[in-house]
Amino acid sequence: MSLERYLAAIRRDEPINYAAFVRRLPAPWQARHRELFATERVATDRWRVTCREPAQLEALEARVRRPRDRLEATRQGDSHRVAGDTAYLLVHHLGLPDARPGVVVLQGRCVLQGFTPRRSALIVENEQNFARPRAMRRLASRWSGLALGPEDADVILGGGSRINRRPVVDWLSGYERVLCAFDYDLGGLRMFASLRDALGERASLLQPPAWPAWHDRFRRHPGDTGRALAAVALAEQLGLHGLARAFRETGHFMEQEILLEPMDD
């Protein structure tokens, strides 16, 4: 249950799980919860809560209220609570005169681009690999069995979480096939899972024909056991059983840069 719903229940004088409510409070309110709130137990794990300082309850409600736009979010102290409606993408596409990629501008429903998209898209998470589109096309074609030359597919830079922003996902939905070349780690899987949710079977993760041949390249430590277990669980949930097995057997993640280690452009 969200903090906003807890606050609404308090306004309606409805019993809530007070311990869970406190865990969701922002740090300044959490530190003062005993002096800010009076409680009356009415059932197991259910408490009727009264705010001793009404102004503090109003401040909490203003803080958690979903802002209408990025400007309002900025006034509330965190512009990142709302994604902007403008996005920029770098794309290697057919007809480029040199190594410079083209730019796509997505602004609301307006799309500005100087090329006709191909049927397929190859999203490359890492800038270093994106700078080697020919090598990435060859690798992806070999692994997937698909034709991914410039006349078949556009290569898109998808670093960070920008590729999962709504304007970008809406634009990607125009492709028949979206092949994702992401890091083989928890972050990469979360990005892929989000795209799969939005695009369905049109989105697929770039994978080698056989994972065991690549186990020796899983060299990045997950950081903690929780992240490692979460990556295994998510890979299994997505049907990526070979990748899940690679995580379990190596105990490490694999970064995308190593894919092109033996290849020339």
Angle at CA of residue 168, ends 229 and 132, nearest 5°: 75
The DSSP secondary structure of 131-184, one letter per residue, reads T-HHHHHHHHHHHH----STTTEEEEE--TTGGGSHHHHHHHTTSSEEEEE--B
How do the pLDDT tens digits run along the chain, 265 residues long?
788 889 999 999 999 999 999 988 988 888 899 999 999 999 988 999 999 998 888 888 877 775 544 444 444 444 444 445 789 999 999 999 999 999 999 987 899 999 999 999 999 999 999 999 999 999 999 999 999 999 999 999 998 778 888 899 999 999 999 999 999 999 999 999 989 988 999 999 999 999 999 999 999 999 889 899 999 999 999 999 999 999 999 999 999 989 998 655 5
pLDDT score for 262: 66
DSSP 224: S
The DSSP secondary structure of 20-67, one letter per residue, reads HHHHHS-HHHHHTHHHHEEEEEEETTEEEEEES-HHHHHHHHHHHSPP
Q: Do 204 and 177 form a contact (C-beta atoms < 8 A)?
A: yes
pLDDT score for 62: 78
pLDDT score for 263: 59
Q: Determine the Cα–Cα distance for residues 91 and 123; give it in Å rounded to an integer.
A: 9
Q: Report which of 102, 124, 117 is spatially closest to residue 152, judged by C-alpha positions.
A: 117
pLDDT score for 84: 54
Q: Report which of 48, 45, 10, 3 is spatially closest to residue 24, judged by C-alpha positions.
A: 3
The amino acid that residue 42 corresponds to is V
Tokens at residue 23, please? Answer: 């865990």
What are the extents of the domains in the chain? Answer: 3-81, 116-260
pLDDT score for 81: 42
Q: Which secondary structure element, helix H or strand E, spans residue 103, and what is its range?
A: strand 102-107
Q: Does CATH number 3.40.1350 belong to domain 116-260?
A: no
